[in-house]
Structure 1
Amino acid sequence: MTALATATSCCPNVSVEPAAAVLGRAAVPVVDLSSPGSAGAVASACGRLGFFKAVNHGIPVGLVEKLEAEALAFFSLPQNDKLLTSGAPLGYGHRKIGPNGDVGMLEFLMLSIGSNSVTTSALPTVLCYMLAEYMSRVQKVALRVLELMAEGLGMSDTNVFSRMVQRDGSDVLLRVNHYPVAMRQPAGGGRGAVGFGEHTDPQIIAVLRSNSASGLQIALRDGSWVPVEPDPESFFVNVGDSMQVLTNGRYRSVRHRVVVEAGEWARARLSMIYFGAPAPSERIAPVPELIGKGEASRYRSFTWREYKAAAYKSRLADRRLDGFQLDAQGSPDDET
């Protein structure tokens, strides 16, 4: 999911099939991050789906489980206590996704990595400690994946992507989403409800971990939706819009959503998502090395500040990259 999310029309009243009825479980590529040949597997998955499951990532399961317990304890606090940590866009949020009318069946915490955000000072001490430890660990996983993404494309500088989220001022976020059962309103008498509407992530990369409650779905290129089997011991990697631009379309950002079940057997879903983006002033454009002979740049150059502003002005389900595409002659494409 995205820090700057969008909804299928992002409306809880959209009719949604129960998760199990949407095609069947996705054949999600699995990449062993400890394997010597993982760069090729990463490149294949990012080019085909823009999404994969990462195993052998090096983050202790115990750490993640402790953070999950502390996060659930926070979300169980009285609403007034949770609101003490709000400070849009960072801090605690409830249902509202962005400033343009999109809503979801969730509450969340949004934190900036490396900032001295005042919102964190109001969080319980143990939760703050666990969040800081998790942020440090998941950032290392993200950097490793970004290096593999570059290596898989045969790039001479395999740190070209990872540097963008390490520089001073990089816009790196951690979002903790909680989908409580009590908040769910099934549409049309069915069991499925839109917890977080369809969108792509505007950043370079997103790294997600969830508990064992299902809900995540990804869109295939033909527009069909497939549920992703949850795996609390693994991480899921999303290619973001900015990475699609940097690779001139060789990697594709993945459209995804959360459809939660309502009813007797429903369980609360908790997910933690790392978002990696460059500093606001850094320019994003196709890397020259990835523009093949006879090819043209598919996207115009822009700063992360510019694209982030465009994302905040749009609805969740909008196809934001359309406004930054170029035609074959390198001019804005009138068809978009």
Structure 2
Amino acid sequence: MNWNSLRDEVFKAFQEYGCFEVMFDKVKPRALHEEMKEIFNFPLEFKMSKSSTMFGYLGQNPALPLYERLTIQDVLSHGVAKKFANLFWPDGNPIVCDMVLSYSKQLSMLEKTIRRMVMEILGVEKYIEEQNESSNYVLIFNKYRKPTRDESGIGLAPHTDKNILTILFQIQVNGLQIQRDNGQWVDVEFSPNSFLVLVGDVFKAWTNGRLHAPIHRLLMSEKDEERFSIGFFTFPKEGYLVNVPKDPVDEDHPLLYNPFDGIKHIQFYKSEVGQRAGHDSLKAYCGV
């Protein structure tokens, strides 16, 4: 398939489903996962001492009892991977640092390629450099344990991602579901070594609603083994004002969103007002 045909397919998938599956063999997520899995097996007290919403360990949340995660914020910035490794391995871990950096660099190139495809379709290629320079990358390792008989199987409640794009790799156990427009939940069946690319609220807004940000959730059952996944997230830099270009706006597509700070939208979403707005938090925050 040539570039133009592939570009069209990507755009159509984002419009209809808000996501698509891609095969990408330039990284080794399973090898990286095996290295990072060691951290989840560390004593709870030690993990909790490294707890942070932006950097390090997060878990033991009563609202999400099945869920734990390790976060590397701004993963491609100089020294960040080393700083993360030093949190959990006092003598450092050069192997993990190299694997984290290699994985993140390759996925950042894939992400930029996908964004370029969308921007070419919309005729806004002139913003590509600005988009790249105003973005940060976050790497998150997720773990979900199976529920006990008395627990809910909800690993993550229904939500849309609050970022630009997400590239997700799932390790063995399924459980991710996407909600269609008719309210039906559809299981995501990952092919071996494939990635799922999802549109986030920020990219939906920047394209003036031309793309669909899918509502998704994670379910676990008593029969499941532990589930692991690796998420690569693109966010706008703090303080950057997301502004819908003039090109996607016309008589058939009137302006839907006022300029907004993507990070402040996340803070709004976590507020009482934002929680009441639910999946419409972006519209409540900056809708025209």
Q: Same fold (TM over 0.5)?
A: yes
CA distance in 1, matches of 2:106, 2:185: 31
1:59-112 alpha-carbon deviations (Å, 9 max, x no partner): 24xx2121011122221222233334323332111143xxxx742411110111
Question: Compared with structure 1, are the counterparts of its residues 107 and 296 closer, same or farther at alpha carbon in structure 2 (3 Å cutoff)?
Answer: same
Q: Does 1:54 align with 2:19?
A: no
Flag the structure with more relative contact order, 1 or 2, with Cα contacts below 8 A and sequence separation at least 6.
1
Report the number of matched residues: 277
Q: Does 1:290 align with 2:248?
A: yes
The residue correspondences of 1:1-20 to structure 2 (distance < 5 A) are none
Percent identity between the aligned chains? 22
Please tell me the residue identity of whatever aligns with 1:75. F
Match of 2:284 in 1: 323
Question: Compared with structure 1, are the counterparts of its residues 141 and 294 closer, same or farther at alpha carbon in structure 2 (3 Å cutoff)?
Answer: closer
The residue correspondences of 1:1-336 to structure 2 (distance < 5 A) are 37-55=5-23, 57-60=24-27, 63-96=28-61, 102-112=63-73, 113-115=75-77, 116-117=79-80, 118-124=83-89, 125=93, 126-153=95-122, 155-157=123-125, 160=127, 163-164=130-131, 166-167=132-133, 170-181=135-146, 184-186=147-149, 193-263=153-223, 266-293=224-251, 295-313=253-271, 314-315=274-275, 318-319=278-279, 320-324=281-285, 326=287, 330=288
For structure 1, the 5+ residue unaligned runs are 1-31, 331-336
Question: Compared with structure 1, are the counterparts of its residues 299 and 214 closer, same or farther at alpha carbon in structure 2 (3 Å cutoff)?
Answer: same
Moved more, 287-296 or 231-240: 287-296
1:273-304 alpha-carbon deviations (Å, 9 max, x no partner): 11101212211132210012354201111122
Question: Compared with structure 1, are the counterparts of its residues 294 and 225 closer, same or farther at alpha carbon in structure 2 (3 Å cutoff)?
Answer: closer
Please tell me the residue identity of whatever aligns with 1:306. K
Contact between 1:197 and 1:316, CA under 8 Å: does it hold in 2?
no
Please tell me the residue identity of whatever aligns with 2:239. S
Question: Compared with structure 1, are the counterparts of its residues 325 and 187 closer, same or farther at alpha carbon in structure 2 (3 Å cutoff)?
Answer: farther
Please tell me the residue identity of whatever aligns with 1:51. C
CA distance in 2, matches of 1:236, 1:317: 27
Q: Following TM superposition, by how much is the alpha carbon of 1:162 offset from its aligned partner in structure 2, in angstroms?
A: 6.6
SS at match of 2:127: coil
CA distance in 1, matches of 2:179, 2:231: 19
CA distance in 2, matches of 1:150, 1:109: 32
Which structure shows the higher helix fraction?
Answer: 2
Tell me the C-alpha RMSD between the 2 structures: 2.5
Relative to the length of structure 2, the TM-score reads: 0.86
